């Protein structure tokens, strides 16, 4: 392994160990602090998975995980702009909208196909269970709307609108157009591979000299590691700047950031 990459992965592991020991010490978190601390676990877990897949040469699978991180990274920045409490309330309402859409679709399905109905009271194909979930989620959604004075039709914007809002807000440490570049050159570019649609399959399959179909691999391997670790570093700074962890940002954070830049340049 490249000595620079080996050092980068080692320091990243050290940072995670430190954050693991500190992340839950603040017991009285605000909505935003809770949101950021909840994001910490999947961010670092996905990045560790990307590193493991990279080391095994499974670059395509690692690339799909990077797409998820890129999307989450943009939303994390968006929710810190201006009225974060209102935005997180809308996000909570969105969650109940999704649950209601899913349970209503399941109920419609079993009404159309009675052979799929389950007698198990805990099953999502049990009509009584579905009715209970629909009622529960309607009540919870109503509470979120009333408590936070939300418009019934308010929704969290799509990812491109989020990227535009982040660029407009001139987020600390970013450069002009950074989030729209991330959306267009990373999120959208990787999307076909994530969905394995025709375009995605086309990017995966090639022919060798013998005319046989073979699996191709994502060529810019360094981006997988540096970008995923870089996203974790950005979240780490957010954890400290928003007092989720009440201390100074550790020097290790900036050392990793410098190593990421060096690794990309080599």
For residue 159, list its beta bridge partners: none
Report the alpha-carbon distance of residue 48 to residue 70 in Å, rounded.
15
Question: What confidence tens digit (pLDDT) does each residue in 96-130 have?
Answer: 999 999 999 999 999 999 999 999 999 999 999 99
> What's the number of domains the chain is made of?
2
Cα separation, 30 vs 85, in Å, equals: 9
Q: In terms of Cα–Cα distance, which of 186, 188, 192 is closest to 226?
A: 186
Last residue of a domain, one of 147, 173, 196: 147
Does 53 lie in the same domain as 91? no
Specify if 107 maps to a domain.
yes
Please give the pLDDT value at position 219: 63
What are 193-228's pLDDT values in tens digits? 888 888 877 777 777 777 777 777 666 778 889 999
Residue 258 lies in a domain: yes
Cα torsion angle, 23, 29, 35, 36, sign: negative
pLDDT < 50: residue spans in the chain: none
Instruction: Note whether 117 and 52 are same-domain residues.
Output: no
Q: Among the residues of 80-220, which ranges form H helices?
A: 84-112, 127-147, 159-169, 178-182, 188-195, 198-204
pTM score: 0.89
CB 123 within 8 A of CB 110: no
Query: What is the predicted pLDDT for the residue at 43?
Result: 97
Residues 23 and 60 placed together within one structural domain of the fold: yes
Tell me if 169 is assigned to some domain.
no
pLDDT for position 60:
87
Q: Is 49 left (phi over 0), alpha (psi -120 to 50) or beta?
A: alpha
Domain that residue 124 falls in: 87-147
Identify whether residues 108 and 47 lie together within a single domain: no
Q: Does 126 share its domain with 105?
A: yes
pLDDT of residue 223: 85
Q: What is the pLDDT of residue 218?
A: 62
Per-residue model confidence (pLDDT) at position 224: 87
Instruction: Please give the radius of gyration of the chain, using alpha carbons only, rounded to the nearest integer.
Output: 22
Let me know if 198 is exposed, middle or buried by CB neighbors in 10 A (0-12, 13-18, 19+). Answer: exposed
Residue 53 and residue 101 share a domain: no
Q: Using CA atoms, how far apart are residues 85 and 184, in angstroms rounded to an integer?
A: 28
């Amino acid at each position: 392994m490249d000595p620079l990459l080996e050092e980068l992965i080692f320091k990243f592991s050290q940072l995670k160990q430190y954050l693991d020991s500190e992340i839950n010490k603040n017991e009285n978190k605000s909505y935003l602090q809770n949101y950021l601390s909840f994001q910490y676990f999947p961010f670092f877990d996905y990045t560790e998975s990307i590193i493991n897949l990279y080391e095994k040469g499974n670059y395509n699978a690692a690339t799909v995980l990077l797409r998820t991180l890129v999307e989450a990274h943009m939303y994390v920045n968006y929710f810190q702009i201006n009225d974060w409490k209102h935005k997180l309330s809308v996000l909570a309402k969105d969650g109940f909208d999704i649950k209601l859409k899913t349970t209503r679709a399941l109920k419609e399905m079993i009404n159309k196909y009675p052979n799929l109905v389950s007698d198990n009271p805990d099953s999502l194909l049990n009509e009584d269970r579905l009715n209970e979930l629909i009622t529960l989620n309607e009540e919870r959604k109503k509470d979120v709307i009333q408590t936070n004075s939300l418009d019934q039709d308010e929704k969290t914007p799509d990812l491109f609108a989020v990227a535009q809002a982040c660029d407009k807000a001139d987020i600390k440490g970013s450069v002009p157009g950074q989030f729209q570049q991330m959306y267009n050159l990373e999120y959208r570019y990787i999307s076909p591979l994530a969905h394995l649609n025709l375009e995605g399959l086309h990017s995966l399959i090639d022919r060798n000299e013998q005319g046989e179909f073979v699996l191709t691999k994502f060529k810019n391997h360094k981006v997988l590691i540096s970008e995923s670790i870089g996203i974790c570093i950005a979240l780490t700074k957010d954890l400290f700047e928003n007092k989720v962890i009440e201390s100074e940002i550790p020097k290790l954070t900036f050392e990793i950031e410098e190593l990421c830049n060096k690794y990309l340049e080599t």
